[in-house]
Amino acid sequence: MSDLLAARAQMALSLGFHIIFAAIGMAMPFLMAISHYRWIRTGRRVYLDLTKAWSRGVAIFFATGAVSGTALSFELGLLWPGFMEHAGAVIGMPFSWEGTAFFIEAIALGLFLYGWNRLKPWTHWAVGLVVGISGVLSGVFVVCANAWMNSPAGFDWVAATASTPGHAINIDPFRAMFNDAWKAQTLHMTISAFEATGFAVAGIHALLFLRRPSPFHREAFTIALAVGAIAAIAQPLSGDLLAKGTAERQPIKLAAMESHFETSARAPLLIGGIPDEKTGTVRYGLEIPGALSYLAHGDFNAEVKGLNDFPRENWPPVAPVHYAFQIMVGCGMILAGIGALGLFLLAFKRWRPLLYHRRYLVPCVLATPLGFIALEAGWTVTEVGRQPWIIYGVMRTAEAVTPMPGLVVPFLLFSAVYVFLTGVVTWLLWRHIATVEEKYPSAREGA
Amino acid sequence: MLFVVIAFLGVSLFLYCLLGGADFGAGVLELFLGKSRQEAQRKIIDKAMGPVWEANHMWLILMVVILFMGFPAVYTRVSVNLHIPLTAMLVGIIARGCSFTFRHYDAVKGRSQRAYTAFFVFSSVWTPFCLGVVMGALVPGGIDPAARDYASAYVSPWLRPFPLALGLFTVCLFTFIAAVYLVGECPGDDGLRRSFARKARWASVASIVSGWIVFAGAHADGVPLLAEFLGFGWAFAFMTAATACFGVLWVALYRDWIWTARVMVGAQVALILAGWFQVQHPVLVRMPAGDLTFFNAHAPAATLNQLGGALLVGSVFILPALLWLFLVFKSEEGEEKPVVG
């Protein structure tokens, strides 16, 4: 394993691990706020139980997210000093705001978790909401920084010469943060957090409800499903916005996502298919004529640039980006379908009992991991699709990596830590779920 | 704005050492709980740290952000040459935060508690030790950007007497801070209070001894620490005052003057850092071919203005919120809202 590959693998692993906890940290407080609101309003036991049970589970995820996020703020420098040396001054602003938001989140979380019986009910509720708002904001700020890597702005780059290394001048941190990609990317990421968390929580409670119907699991399922479903229906729209922007800013990434090798007008949308980078062909794909042109440029006859228009050394790895994109879209479609049906059933009182019918719950159980699979796949698309660049068009990933040899050692170390932690967190969640009935009365009564 | 940024860096470091330090130290203290009343002592620690530990560690994140936005050259230099101790510290941070939370939130309080505690205690010693090593490695000038072979570039900058001694001192000092803090966290239980006060006295002895080891380490490393302290008027005054605080502290611990003791500990940490600052200033990283200083390693003015602005605005939100958090957990618990159906 080369040092560059080890560094990339460690970064991918750390981000891929952290993103799950970050997404839960963004969305879960809002689910709790809904349940908490109902508890204060109705005084019904089930909402109190639910808010408490969720918050106990979530505390575990929060802590894991906080420490893995702390690790990431160091790993950026440990692995990519060449990047941070120049990017720090340009794109530090969203990081400094992220630090602030994260701080507020940690304070509010402490207040929320330990604030039962110490804060007035509505104050306590508002503090819970602050956890969610600051969680979403810190996610938005971090994704702003990532958007800048895809769509660099707010500086001029002086290329390296024999005597001086490359460096940034005329730095404008404000323009760097609010680059062309920030809106679409932050929107897409934020919605995905709600979609993934909503469906994962709904799926778990659907399973428990199937095993033993109770008001606890029914209410939990309903709240989580409603949040996940709204997000799942909104997500294709934000995805479209992002795809159109990507077509403008990073045509090569879009070409890789679609395995689109030859520039053509009326470009087809490829569904499935096995791309072959060497020959520039795709086998077994299903093509929808003109659809890619429409999605990328809003016109069925528009020209879409193909990979062959770009020098070979600037290609991202085509197959992984293509597969990841297909997986993301596929999972997203399934969730949008399940979500639309769910919202329909929920909207009409006479159909609502069908929401808790086996025929609907079982697909929900099966869909439990799909949101997070889509989230990871989407992250792969944006990160691997940007390769070989770390700052698109400005700095190559290979130029940014630390000179320290033997990076395979920290990679293996972090892999071991994260694999172990994943196991422990899963086990803890299972133990938490297994004791819900014993701890919370509303999880015992029949529905 | 450069001075605003430097001030925030200093304040963050101080608060991290004090609040984060108390948090780390509480973990170290679990090593010395003794045979009797282990559970009660652990409960005190859990109760005192549970609501605030995440917020206490945010000061570290703030320091990292200030460094990489305000002083990117320092952040990168340190990240490259101190990769090994930094990675070791990260593993400690992860293990510590997770095991502490898992211990509290595991739905079944069974045998697994012992495993969490073991991880928690070990990482509570390990992490501040690594932190001290990293801080110490900035001083003796072992970080050399020109070094090419593995040992001199990545190992010898930190594997030397001064950083190791500072790591040891950090652990002792943090334990001391924690013990003094916890003395005030067991109201109505004289036995526990006396036991934490006894630990505080032992930790103060350990801090003084390890403080002398730091001076010895400095001597062995060619850092003229003692001479510098004696030469610079202020640094000498700071250190003398810090040592004098021990005297007041001992009395305060015997007499149960809880807030006097806490203020003294805070003053000590501030004085030690001020003394260190006085000796180092304006150098951040000492290097053979030209040091990185506050004045030659900072980001362009546009960036510093943004950073300073963000810190000033951020502190308007953070500081009152933090104060509220601490106050709420000093208040008594109220009644639970009644359940209707």
pLDDT at position A435, please? Answer: 86
**Predicted local confidence at residue B229, as pLDDT:** 73
Lowest mean pLDDT, pick from A41-50, A359-368, B249-258: B249-258
Interchain CB contact of A246 with B (< 8 Å): no
Which of A3, A42, A70 is best to mutate for the B interface (most B CBs within 10 A)? A70
pLDDT in the model for residue B168: 95
- Reply yes or no on whether the pLDDT at B69 is more than 80: yes
Name which CATH class applies to B2-281+291-328.
mainly alpha
- Residue B186 neighbours by CB under 8 Å, 6+ apart: B44, B192, B193, B196
Quote the pLDDT of residue B309.
87
Residue spans of the domains in chain B: they are 2-281+291-328
Whether residue A74 is predicted with pLDDT greater than 80 in this model: the reply is yes
pLDDT over 90 percentage in chain B: 20
From chain A residues 414-433, the ones with a CB under 8 A of any chain B CB are 417, 421, 424, 428, 431-432
The pLDDT of residue A154 is above 90: no
Please name the member of B50, B317, B339 whose beta carbon is closest to the beta carbon of A45: B339
Which chain A positions have a beta carbon within 8 Å of B66's beta carbon? 96
Is A131 a residue whose pLDDT tops 90? yes
Average pLDDT value for residue range B175-201: 85
Q: What is the pLDDT of residue A54?
A: 92
B222-260 pLDDT per residue, tens: 887 777 777 767 878 888 888 888 888 888 888 878 888
Contact criterion met (CB < 8 Å) for A67 and B98: yes
Give B80-109 pLDDT, tens digit per residue. Answer: 999 999 999 999 999 998 998 888 888 888
Angle of CA points B201, B202, B206, to nearest 5°: 120
Nearest CA in chain A to B66: A96
Rounded Cα gap, residues A340 and A363, in angstroms: 13
For A420, name the nearest residue in chain B, comparing CA atoms only.
B95
Question: Residue B26 CA to chain centroid, in angstroms?
Answer: 12
For residue B241, which amino acid is it?
Answer: A
For residues A77 and B77, give the distance between their C-alpha atoms in angstroms, rounded to a whole number.
9
- Nearest residue of chain B to residue A90 (CA atoms): B303
Across the interface, which of B55, B61, B95 has its CB nearest the CB of A70?
B61
Instruction: For residue A216, give how far its alpha carbon lies from the nearest alpha carbon of chain B (Å).
Output: 13
| Nearest CB neighbour to A97, from listed B86, B310, B324 | B310
pLDDT at A102 over 80: yes
- Mean pLDDT, range A152-168, rounded to an integer: 82
Chain A residues lying within 8 Å of B50, measured CB to CB: 110, 113-114
Least CB–CB distance from B62: residue in A42, A99, A116: A99
If residue B284 lies in a helix (H) or strand (E), which one and from where to where?
A: strand B283-285
A41 CB burial (10 A radius; 0-12, 13-18, 19+)? exposed
Q: Which residues of A touch B104 (CB under 8 A)?
A: 59
pLDDT class of A41 with cuts at 50, 70, 90: very high
Q: Tell whether A127 is covered by a domain.
A: yes
- C-alpha–C-alpha distance, residues B22 and B59, integer Å: 13
A418: containing domain: 3-161+174-263+305-443
Determine the average pLDDT of the residues in A154-171.
Answer: 81
Q: Is A435 contained in some domain?
A: yes
**Average pLDDT estimate for B313-330:** 85
| pLDDT over 90 (residue A15) | yes
Identify all chain A residues contacting B65, using CB atoms and an 8 Å cutoff. Answer: 73, 92, 95-96, 98-99
Structural domains counted in chain A:
1
More confident site: B37 or B9: B9
CA distance A229 to A334: 11
- Is the CB of A89 less than 8 angstroms away from the CB of B303? yes
Q: Is the pLDDT of residue A88 over 90?
A: no
Q: Which of B13, B121, B325 is nearest to A115 (CA)?
A: B325
The stretch A323-348 carries a mean pLDDT of 93
Q: Which residues of B, range 308-337, sit inside 8 Å of A by Cβ?
A: 310-311, 313-314, 317-318, 321-322, 324-325, 328-329, 331, 333-337
Q: Does B152 touch chain A (CB under 8 A)?
A: no
Per-residue pLDDT, averaged over A344-362, amounts to: 89
